[in-house]
Amino acid sequence: MTPLRRAALDAQESHAKHASKFGSSGIHRVAEDKIVHWEKENSLSDLANNGKPLPRDFHQDAARALHLGDDHLHAKLLADNGLLPESVLQRQELDARWAALAKEIQRANEDGSPMEAFRERIEELDGRATALNEAILSDTLRFKAKTSPVRHSRRFLFEERVKEAIDERFS
């Protein structure tokens, strides 16, 4: 058994003891799935710190005081290794696409170009916003959270968003 797998099983056993008292953790399940997936595709022998203990997490006590328990450690492990929940990835992509499109709308407005050319792309962003909001709900349920750290997206309505992009340029 690999050290990473042993650590995952130890964490799972520890979590099982607390789960009956505090409930099950969706973050734990995601972390476990990511570990299993990584083990299938990679080798542990080439890791620099293979076999060494993990450094103490100085935020763990604060997380427990805030009743986050082991979820803090699981979320930190996922984030430190670039494994973010789907809603976070979708939010980042949507924000980047809107920023780029808003700049194009601003340039087109300065050139006097028709805004109608952007209708289809704004409608596509509206579909992505709907998918993001569904992913946020899914992640919130999966992690058994009361709220999501990812903010929901407003609709991408053509006239409203064109006005927003133009007004943003002059504010």
Q: Are the CB atoms for 57 and 112 separated by under 8 Å?
A: no
Question: What residue has token string 């006590």?
Answer: 61
Distances (CA, A) of 53 to 16, 56, 135: 22, 9, 35
For residues 26 and 99, state if they share a domain.
no
pLDDT, tens digit, for every residue of 71-127?
555 556 666 776 777 788 899 899 999 999 999 999 999 999 999 999 999 999 999
Tell me if 51 sits within 8 A of 95, measured CB to CB. Answer: no
The CA-CA-CA angle for residues 7, 27, 135, to 5°, reads 145
Top-confidence residue, 24 or 99: 99
Of 80, 107, 123, the domain-final residue: 80
Number of domains in the chain: 2
93 and 144 share one domain: yes
Q: Which of 58, 80, 102 is the last residue of a domain?
A: 80
109 near 166, Cβ under 8 Å?
yes
Domain holding 27, by residue range, is 3-80
Query: Are 28 and 58 members of one domain?
Result: yes
User: For residue 10, is pLDDT > 60?
Assistant: yes
More confident residue, 36 or 131: 131
Indicate if 11 and 66 belong to the same structural domain. yes
- Judge if 102 and 42 occupy the same domain: no
Query: What are the pLDDT digits (tens) for 35-46?
Result: 778 777 776 667
Does the model's pTM come out above 0.75? no
**pLDDT grade, residue 22 (50/70/90)?**
very low
